Structure formats: structure tokens, C-alpha cells
Structure 1
Amino acid sequence: MSLVVERFGELGIIRLSRWIFNCYLIRGESSWTVVDAGMPGSADDVAGVLSVLGGSVGAVVATHGHSDHVAGAPRLATEHAAPLYVPAVTVEYLDGSRQPRTPALSKVAQIWPTLLSQPLDLTGLRGFADGARIAGYGGRRGMIADGLAAARPLADGQLLPGLAGWQVLHVPGHTDDSTAFWHPDSATLLSGDAVLSADGRAWFTPETVDADAAARSEARMRALPVEHLLPGHGLPVHGRDVWAAAR
């Protein structure tokens, strides 16, 4: 399996996927914002798409600091001289004022249906392994901050820089820095890892560090009239009410 490129023209969004790892390009007025450039080769994948569609990268954004969401971000931001944004809590990890928590392996094992939802891509698998040594956090270690030191914070409730109408939502539970991006006009939610998908259904992730926070975040997201769910892992889900059949 090679790189999957899926265009949602009416939304102005492109999904780039290697195995279960999704990266999204959102079209702005004059450039593209890249969300979750988690693979070390994300810069090459984005360059290939933009060579066909045209345009440049205006900003690089991450939904949280796990390596499979940020490992490709520093190179991508550097090559395009674009600002890099991460959640405000992730910035606290970077400056050492807060220690990241990551789900235990017993929690990770629970999302096996998502892991089996798409054909295995060896490039994606290698990228996942290599990315853990480049940037981000996971396992028992703290934050690897190489290339992320200049990242700017995203606060709950603010608008995504350079994109009209996209709101930042702090939705902790999967991790303490978990964040989603909501576009009310198109009823689109880029959910990061707060919501996955499996078997064509939205899935509020059981892979959590804080069950109480996850429950509050689920209630917050269920209150949104989502019609286009674009998860960090798994296939997008579309419908008049994507929560109706959610796990």
C-alpha cells in the first residue's frame, strides 16, 4: 500500500494517509495549513501533493505531542519557513514545566479494531518507529523537543491562525494535551486522537490517561452537530449525525 490521497473538495481538505496515520491539509485563503504531520516523511508527501495542486504551506499544526503527530512537523515547518503550532499544554511539556502522560500498553491494545481498519503500509510502520526517535513523547520518556522548541501555543477557544472559522477545542482524556479543531460552517471536526473510527463508526477512544477528562471531552464533542469526522487514526466518517452510531 502506498500513500493514500483523499480530497474533500467541498470542505477544502485533503487527507494524506499511510496505514492508520492521517495528516490533513486545510486550504486557506493564500496557503495550506497542515495538521498532524506525524510521519518523518510527511514533508515529502505534502510536497508531492502540492506539486500537483499548487500552493504553499502557511502553517503546521498538531493536535497533541505524541510522536506520530509531530515527528514530521519540524522538517515541514523549516522547509516552508512556516510557523509551527502545538497545544498550550504541549508547550508546557517542551519547557519542562509539566510532564507528559501517555496511555498504558493495556489501553493501546484496546484500539486494535482501528489498527486493522486499513491495509498495513510498511512506510507508515517504519515512520511510526523512526518518528519516536525524532520528536514527541510516548512510553516512559519525556518530550523529545528537537525542532519543536519554537512551537507556538494554541489555547482552547482561539481560532486556528490563518484559517477562517476553525476553532481550537481542548479535549483532554487520550492525553492531557489532546486537542481537536472544529469548523461550524461545514460541521467538520478534526478530532486528533480524541475520536477514532472503526467499522465505519466514530469511536471515542478508550486509549486514555484520564477517564474522567475523556468523559467530559466526549460530552463536549457530542454537543457539536458534526457531519464530517476526520480522525487522527482510522477512516473519515460522514453523515447527518456521526454520533448516532458512535462507539
Structure 2
Amino acid sequence: MQENRYLQQLANLNPIASVHEVLPDLVMLRTAIANVCLVGEPGRADWVLVDAGVHFFGGRIAETAEELFRRPPQAIVLTHGHFDHVGSLQELIERWDVPVYAHELELPYLTGQDNYVEPDPTVGGGLMARMSFLYPNEGIDLGDRVQALPADHSVPGMPGWQWVHTPGHTVGHVSLFREQDRALIAGDAFITTRQESALAVILQELDVHGPPAYFTPDWAAAWDSVQRLAALKPQYAVTGHGLPLAGAQLQQGLEKLAREFDTLAIPKHGRYVQ
């Protein structure tokens, strides 16, 4: 992983919108507390945006895309529809007029039919968790702009990538995996910072953690999903929160999380802890 000169200049403009080149065709942009991915080789190929970050970052995402690709994406793919992953989505689809894809089980939350469960501020872990009662849990209504990901697990506009159903954090959560180089876009199935802690979020402390506890209602499914991703033995990973991770640190951390999820990730108490 590296940051080329241009990406470093972008990062220096705004520390809460830092840019990281994970692979030549996989760039991560941090939008305050959540990450988005731009997938495609800059200047040479069509590309896809994965997730849409928090509110008020549509301009920054579009600016980064313009500098890298000089064209709109073929599509926007969502790992899930929580507020910090779709915050700038409406602005972006109005700007670009491109289709949006998500797992079929996520569609009710993206078409105005249902809301997510309420966040759980009782899980502990820090200020971000205690403040979670303020985080919106309402779904959004994209109408016919959003459609289900293909049943064959391919990802539109991302040849070589496959979507993997990784529920737990939400029922329709997906991660994206490319076998060729074992690159993984994990969404919030696991993350690389302790998102419950404001200090850890600010410092971007790097480690493998379970999904954000205050917004995870099904811990048994979340554990199964982490085990499924660990079995893929990813070499590179971008997660929904935290810095990119690669190599032995990623694999060993993910294997440990999959093995000890009950003690490392599941809160000792909480609204959704059984």
C-alpha cells in the first residue's frame, strides 16, 4: 500500500478526508468517520464507487473521482445502507445519474419500506457508542434507482470481484472479494479501528475489530460472517472504518477475531446481546 504524490496532496487538504492507494486500482477515501472505495485503474478504465460515506462529502468524493478518472462511475455499490455509508448518496446519484446496487435483503431500507433497528448506546466502549442514540436509523428511499446485486455474485462494473453475503451488522450486508490478488472490501463486517471509542477514531488506531457494536443487532450472524471472510485469507483489506490493512497483520488479526469473536467483539451487555 502506498500514497502517491497526488493522493498525498489530497490527503493534506483535509485530514478527515484522507486518501490511500491500497492497490493501483483500489483507492480508499476517508469521509470523517467512514470510508468509501473507488475501484478502477485511474485514467485507464471505468470504475465503481463502493459506499457513499457521511453527509456533506459528496463534493469531495466527486472531486477525488474527477481527478483520478475524469468520468462518472459505472455504478455505486453499497455494502449496506447505514447513515454513514449512504450519507452523500443522493447528492452523488443526482450528479452522476448512475445505478445503485445492494443485496436484495437490504432493499427495504433503501426504498423507504423499513428502518434499521435503533442504535444501542449501552454496549460500552467509549464516547461514539454513548452518543449513538443520536445516530439516524431511518432508511432512505431511492425508488427504482437501486436494484439487487446479481444472483451469480458478480459485481456490476467490477470484473473479477464477487460479492459475499456477510450479515449480522445488517441483514443484507455484503463484502466484496477479488480472488486474483485476494483484495477485500469488508464494509462493516469487521473494521480496523475501535469505532465505539472517539479517541480511537480520531487517532485511527490500527487493529482488527468486530463491527460497530452500537449498530449490530445479530451477533451470531456477525460471527459467522467474520469466519467466512477469514477463510478467504485476504491479502489486502479496506473496511468501513479505520485504515487499510494488509499481509500477515491482516490475516492473523482476522483469524484471531474469527476464533475469539465472543470475547473480542460481542459486548458483555447490550440491547441486542443474548
Report the equivalent of 1:143: 139
* Corresponding residue pairs, total: 221
What is the identity, as a one-letter code, of the residue corresponding to 1:85? Y
The structure whose RCO (Cα within 8 Å, separation 6+) is larger is: 1
Determine if contact 2:188/2:212 at 8 Å carries over to the other structure.
no
Report the equivalent of 1:243: 251
Distance 1:235 1:69 in 2: 16
Report the equivalent of 1:120: none
Distance 2:234 2:23 in 1: 18
TM-aligned CA deviation for residue 225 of structure 1? 1.4
Percentage of matched positions with identical amino acids: 27
Determine if contact 2:78/2:101 at 8 Å carries over to the other structure.
yes
Report the equivalent of 2:34: 21
C-alpha distance after superposition, 1:76-134 (max 9, x if no partner): 12211211112211213345666533542224x44x49x6xxxxxxxxxxxxx8xx7xx
Report the equivalent of 1:169: 164
Report the equivalent of 1:36: 51
C-alpha distance after superposition, 1:152-199 (max 9, x if no partner): 112565111011111111111112121111111111111111111134
Distance 2:156 2:118 in 1: 27
Matched, 1:200 2:209: no
Between structures 1 and 2, the one with greater helix share: 2
Report the equivalent of 2:22: 8
Moved more, 227-236 or 194-203: 194-203
Q: CA 1:97–1:144 in structure 2 vs 1: closer, same or farther (change >3 Å)?
A: closer
C-alpha distance after superposition, 1:174-232 (max 9, x if no partner): 12121111111111111111111134222222622111111211211110111111000
Determine if contact 1:202/1:243 at 8 Å carries over to the other structure.
no
User: Looking at CA atoms only, which structure, 1 or 2, has the larger radius of gyration?
Assistant: 2
Q: CA 1:219–1:103 in structure 2 vs 1: closer, same or farther (change >3 Å)?
A: farther
Q: Taking structure 2 as the reference length, what is the TM-score of the superposition?
A: 0.71
Determine if contact 1:74/1:84 at 8 Å carries over to the other structure.
no
Between structures 1 and 2, the one with greater strand share: 1
Q: Which runs of 5+ in 2 are unaligned?
A: 1-14, 129-133, 194-204, 258-274
Distance 1:242 1:77 in 2: 33
Report the equivalent of 2:237: 229
Report the equivalent of 2:261: none
Determine if contact 1:74/1:148 at 8 Å carries over to the other structure.
no
Distance 2:65 2:222 in 1: 36
Report the equivalent of 1:65: 81
Matched, 1:49 2:64: yes
Report the equivalent of 2:105: 89
What is the SS of the residue equivalent to 1:243? helix
Q: Taking structure 1 as the reference length, what is the TM-score of the superposition?
A: 0.78
Distance 1:9 1:197 in 2: 18
Distance 1:61 1:6 in 2: 19
What is the SS of the residue equivalent to 1:230? strand
Matched, 1:104 2:100: no
What is the SS of the residue equivalent to 2:163? strand
Distance 1:81 1:97 in 2: 23
Point out 4+ residue stretches in structure 1 off by more than 6 angstroms: none
C-alpha distance after superposition, 1:48-69 (max 9, x if no partner): 2233223321111111110111
Distance 1:191 1:96 in 2: 25
Distance 2:76 2:57 in 1: 11
